Amino acid sequence: MISVILFMLYLNSWHQKQYFLDNIQYPLVELQGILQQQETEGWNNPQIVSNQLNLILDDLWYGTASHTFPSKGLSKEEMETIQKIASALNQLPTNSNYQLSTWTEEDIKKAQFVNQALIKAELKMENTISVDWDYFMAQCEILQQELLFINQP
């Protein structure tokens, strides 16, 4: 009976962490690809970036909101790291339900900075996405540290 309970607890923890791997890690990699594409194409359609940011920020909010299933699987340090990433990404324009975002040159520079931060954290399209939790959190820590400087000239 105890082994069944321990197994259930393990599965519960695995599912909580899997939320972040599925809903945050892969979309961050997609964001890097979208940012790279926009840079290549001269930022002709930055709303694509805004759309991806909306998805990521919504999932980050849900995943870190208190009393949600995924948030219960995070340590205090992991929660803070993920919240700081969300705060930094929230500085870029996002679309609302009724209006497309407007992008300035400063926003584009921040987006280019985010792209470089994602690349440094190995959250990029050219890499195989690891499903290892510790590796993902190491990527998040690198990303969070890089994003500390998003407002630097």
DSSP states of the chain = -HHHHHHHHHHHHHHHHHHHIIIIIHHHHHHHHHHHHHHHTTSS-THHHHHHHHHHHHHHHHHHSTTSTGGGG--HHHHHHHHHHHHHHTTS----SS------HHHHHHHHHHHHHHHHTT-STTSPPP--HHHHHHHHHHHHHHHTTTT--
Q: What is the pLDDT of residue 2?
A: 65
Within a domain: 152:
no
Residue 131 pLDDT: 83
Residue 103 in any domain: the answer is: yes
Measured distance CA(36)–CA(38) in Å, rounded: 5
State the total domains in the chain: 1
The model carries a pTM of 0.87
Question: Domain containing 71: what range?
Answer: 2-147
* pLDDT mean over 17-37: 93
Q: Average pLDDT over the chain, rounded to whole? A: 87
Q: Is 126 inside any structural domain?
A: yes
Is the CB of residue 58 less than 8 Å from the CB of residue 83? no
Mean per-residue pLDDT, 120-148: 93
- Residue 153 belongs to a domain: no
> Are 35 and 49 a contacting pair, CB within 8 Å?
yes
State residue 69's pLDDT score.
Answer: 65
pLDDT of the residue at 99:
80
